[in-house]
Structure 1
């Protein structure tokens, strides 16, 4: 948080403990610097993810057909898309929310070769189709680096959440960085606290900028005051990053100490082999899922506003049915969901954005706030500014360390340590 942290003017901590905290803040900050700078820059751009994606690749989002043309039945649309993909690929979803003039996104997976057990290489994992005709307008990877206009936003996202490293390594690395960032938020704030009374009068300078005191002092004040003014939102983004990257090993156990969770959505185990031909076809699964959702609505008192999609998870042998309900946080996109067995239609799990156990509600709010999915354009701008603030704090922290390092190297051996004001 700044030079005040190193001048000894802090809350009554023993000197040795305080020095340890200073070293923790300094070197953890240096360790995180490059990673936080990457996350901050990409996160600033991703605050406007949908707008940027549509501007760069409009063919993926806007249908070629006139918006006044009748929409296809959702099942017919899926069949036409599947026919264009051929035998090498499959579409494991029925999109129920169709909008005139806007394309429909379908996840695509390769079909296995029953003779060899191998899977085809498709060159994409999602397609965008015209809901009026079923014509495929575009294909791309949802999360992969690429140089085409359609891959810019997926590239930003994969860098943001995993540094584009293979497997789980990038996700785990950024998860550890996020955890250190969370802890450093508390360490940095603590080091700004003054010693003695009147407390607020002595703490007030830490929140202020002194522009006329020179470049170094301005850098120091920007780092310290910026960290204090943005402390709560920085902590929110740090801890929500832990949720995304280290949910099971860290976030869930910690939050479970004082909040209840409904883990049924994640509790359905993988089957020994993927379900290739579920007993329930798409219409039957839709009817069973609808019935289960109606029962959930009666139980919770919610109201279903619109259907979103029905998706088959072959690895777990379940259909996921998503709707927009009165429990949703986002005004137009539904995240209320239920899982049913792909063979029996039995309800196996649920996902409620709000209105359920407190742990689930808090998690959904953390995710929605992190990804700027609530409060419209003003909050998108706020998230982008938070990304810029994170970058500013990172850069000023490194500059402060470099200044101190040069001063230590220039100091004669055994000379006074001095203080920078």
Structure 2
């Protein structure tokens, strides 16, 4: 007898196959990346108002009696070295108000151990050390709470390897945004439904709508956070990729030659105050901060400029430590769209580029990302 005919089903349409692949990719990224996104979102939301919260917790470090008298910064650095032998400053933030302290970050090598990053606060009136604290310290006291959250947000205190991994998570998060957007609008004619939440309380439909609607409403903000996360973690890789599309100029100090290693520890002929005077004369603007680039033998003096995006001085004036000559200047926004893209990454990521409303939006987006991860995991569990 001949074999009975077998029923053959036509293959699913190509569009349906692609949606199935996107749905699987979205699901597996959510399962694998939820923990990291939750950690980054919680710590990121906590440090949106880092300065305000840390000042509230540690007023004895950040504030002093208001005064127009200012001691030389070189004296403050000397006193910091007396309080913390071996202290080498890397960044000095000048007071923004008459009652602000001087904040310095740098390194301290103790007992032959590896150098530790430290933050030192001094009184601008006479250079007296108000206190200090080490970074990458797990402690929930008022001194270390905000710095701990900031360090956790950067790399979970696990170093460059974790920074690279978090950059990979950011890259996959960008790709997941594309998949989520396609999945959120299955029927173009009913696009309004993707923005609404329906279904009875506690139902699977309501849970799905909560997950989808939050993602759609916050899609532009979370995409910006994902892109800026990638740019701030994979610095060189993203700059290399951007150069395939638009010109991106290099940061000026990287073109300066390195000094011999033994010269790093020597006291430079030109001090910090002299460098500030030279830069102030050149720019005619108020100085925001100074970066000590010992390896290059230059001071990177940051001055305020009308092109600034986030309340920080973005005009860099490079002053030689050897003779006080100005070696060049560059604004972070550079000359073209490629430079402007990278200059805007931190202002957008922190929300500071859009003022108080921008910071509030970033805070809400961080908490909403946590909610997206939780509802996504819950949805997956219930569907199982």
Which interval holds the TM-score relative to the shorter structure?
A: 0.7 to 0.9
Equivalents in 1 of 2:105, 2:222: separation in Å? Answer: 34
Paired residue secondary structure (2:54)? helix
Equivalents in 2 of 1:262, 1:211: separation in Å? Answer: 53
| Deviation of the 1:264 alpha carbon | 2.9
Say yes or no: does 1:262 pair with 2:254.
no
Paired residue secondary structure (2:99)? coil
Matched residue, 2:120? 127
Matched residue, 1:240? 228
Q: Which of 335, 338, 363 is matched with 1:384 structurally? A: 363
Give the 5 Å matches for 1:211-230. Answer: 211-212=199-200, 214-230=202-218
Matched residue, 2:184? 192
Equivalents in 1 of 2:302, 2:68: separation in Å? Answer: 26
Matched residue, 2:35? 34
| Deviation of the 1:90 alpha carbon | 3.6
- Rate the CA distance shift 1:349–1:202 in 2: closer, same or farther, 3 A: farther
Give the 5 Å matches for 1:326-365. Answer: 326-331=306-311, 333-343=312-322, 350-354=329-333, 356-365=335-344
Structure 1, residues 116-170: CA drift from partner, whole Å, max 9, x if none? Answer: xx856787612101112321111012444333311111111111121222x2122
- Rate the CA distance shift 1:95–1:25 in 2: closer, same or farther, 3 A: closer
Structure 1, residues 9-54: CA drift from partner, whole Å, max 9, x if none? Answer: xxx8533333222111110111110111111111111111112111
- Rate the CA distance shift 1:348–1:173 in 2: closer, same or farther, 3 A: farther
Matched residue, 1:276? 265
Paired residue secondary structure (1:321)? strand
Paired residue secondary structure (1:132)? coil
Say yes or no: does 1:62 pair with 2:63.
yes
Structure 1, residues 266-317: CA drift from partner, whole Å, max 9, x if none? Answer: 62354451523334444554455456x54xxxxxxxxx53012333212232
Equivalents in 2 of 1:286, 1:119: separation in Å? Answer: 33
Say yes or no: does 1:169 pair with 2:158.
no
Give the 5 Å matches for 1:109-148. Answer: 109-110=107-108, 119=112, 125-148=118-141
| Deviation of the 1:353 alpha carbon | 3.4
The answer (yes or no) to whether the contact 1:285–1:319 under 8 Å persists in 2 is yes
When the two chains are superposed, the root-mean-square deviation of aligned CA atoms in Å is 2.8
Task: Pick which of 32-41 and 339-348 moved more.
Answer: 339-348
Equivalents in 1 of 2:126, 2:14: separation in Å? Answer: 70
The answer (yes or no) to whether the contact 1:97–1:307 under 8 Å persists in 2 is no
| Deviation of the 1:252 alpha carbon | 1.3
Equivalents in 2 of 1:224, 1:307: separation in Å? Answer: 47
- Structure 2: gaps of 5 or more residues: 1-12
Q: TM-score, normalised by structure 1?
A: 0.79
- Rate the CA distance shift 1:172–1:384 in 2: closer, same or farther, 3 A: same
Paired residue secondary structure (2:288)? strand
Equivalents in 2 of 1:79, 1:239: separation in Å? Answer: 41
Equivalents in 2 of 1:146, 1:351: separation in Å? Answer: 39
The answer (yes or no) to whether the contact 1:97–1:306 under 8 Å persists in 2 is no
| Deviation of the 1:367 alpha carbon | 0.9
Runs of 4+ in 1 over 6 A off after TM superposition: 120-123
Equivalents in 2 of 1:252, 1:122: separation in Å? Answer: 29
Paired residue secondary structure (2:300)? strand
- Rate the CA distance shift 1:124–1:186 in 2: closer, same or farther, 3 A: closer
Equivalents in 2 of 1:354, 1:162: separation in Å? Answer: 26
Say yes or no: does 1:149 pair with 2:138.
no
- Structure 1: gaps of 5 or more residues: 1-11, 113-117, 295-303, 406-421
The answer (yes or no) to whether the contact 2:174–2:226 under 8 Å persists in 1 is yes
| Deviation of the 1:351 alpha carbon | 4.3
Task: Pick which of 371-380 and 222-231 moved more.
Answer: 371-380
- Rate the CA distance shift 1:83–1:361 in 2: closer, same or farther, 3 A: same
Equivalents in 2 of 1:335, 1:175: separation in Å? Answer: 25
Equivalents in 1 of 2:153, 2:357: separation in Å? Answer: 22
Structure 1, residues 208-262: CA drift from partner, whole Å, max 9, x if none? Answer: 111536532111001111111111111100010001111212x212322333222
Aligned length, in residue pairs:
369
